[in-house]
Amino acid sequence: GENVEQHPSTLSVQEGDSAVIKCTYSDSASNYFPWYKQELGKRPQLIIDIRSNVGEKKDQRIAVTLNKTAKHFSLHITETQPEDSAVYFCAASKGTGGFKTIFGAGTRLFVK
Amino acid sequence: DTEVTQTPKHLVMGMTNKKSLKCEQHMGHRAMYWYKQKAKKPPELMFVYSYEKLSINESVPSRFSPECPNSSLLNLHLHALQPEDSALYLCASSQEFWGQFSGNTIYFGEGSWLTVV
């Protein structure tokens, strides 16, 4: 089955710096890659996503890139702010008569 | 409105109890999910319902029994749980659509915090 690896597990940056989180997936049939942000005690919430026919997507300070050949995708946060501190999960999914979304282990981001 | 509602928010149950978690969505989504999340871990898929039929069971122990009464409701029946089953149980839904570049945005509920004593 699908396996999603996420790095780093912890990331600490100074306010205003950029943060990059990287994920790799194993199933070449996966075609949808969402990113979720989870604050302490709250639900995971979608912050950005990318589909397999797109190489890059940007939404204000957040961008995601996808390299299908290498099976890599990354989250980029620019001009980080204290409210960006949270756990970020990447995920990969494909449609198989009921979508199976598999999450990476998570990255705990601290913005100092 | 991207609202998935879960009840109860907190549940404490003994190992011999029977209880249920409930989930409701009114977004017209045709796929609904149960995820389990332990502290400092990612959500772990348990079950997927597609068009009210169970389509994925991730080898979940039979002490967890899902039910989908209709397209808006999803239940998780709990019986004879173990302390290690204590976790946050997240319900989610998504709008299924097919195609080469289909996507599947999952919307999570607030979760039910379960403690088994």
| pLDDT, tens digit, 9 for 90 and up, residues B61-101 | 999 999 999 989 999 999 999 999 999 999 999 886 555 55
Cα-Cα end-to-end distance for chain B: 36
B90: chain A residues, CB-CB within 8 Å: 43-44
Q: Look at B108 and A93 and tell me if their CB atoms are within 8 Å.
A: no
Q: Provide the 3-class DSSP secondary structure of residue B97.
A: coil
User: How far is Cα of residue A68 from the mean position of the Cα atoms in its chain?
Assistant: 15
**CA–CA gap between residue A5 and residue A16 (Å, rounded):** 27
Taking only Cα atoms into account, the Rg of chain A, rounded to an integer number of angstroms, comes to: 13
> B7 and chain A: CB distance < 8 Å anywhere?
no
Specify the pLDDT at position A15.
97
The minimum CA-CA distance between A58 and chain B, rounded to whole Å, is 17
**B18 pLDDT band (50/70/90 cuts)?**
very high
Q: Is A74 on the interface with B (CB under 8 A)?
A: no
For position A1, what pLDDT does the model report?
76
Buried b (16+ CB within 10 A) or exposed e, A3-15: ebebeeeebebee
pLDDT bucket at A101, cuts 50 / 70 / 90: confident
HSE value, Cβ hemisphere, 13 Å, CA-based, for B61: 9
Tell me if B42 and A106 make a contact (CB, 8 A cut-off). Answer: yes
Q: Which range among B14-18, B75-79, B111-115 shows the weakest confidence by mean pLDDT?
A: B14-18
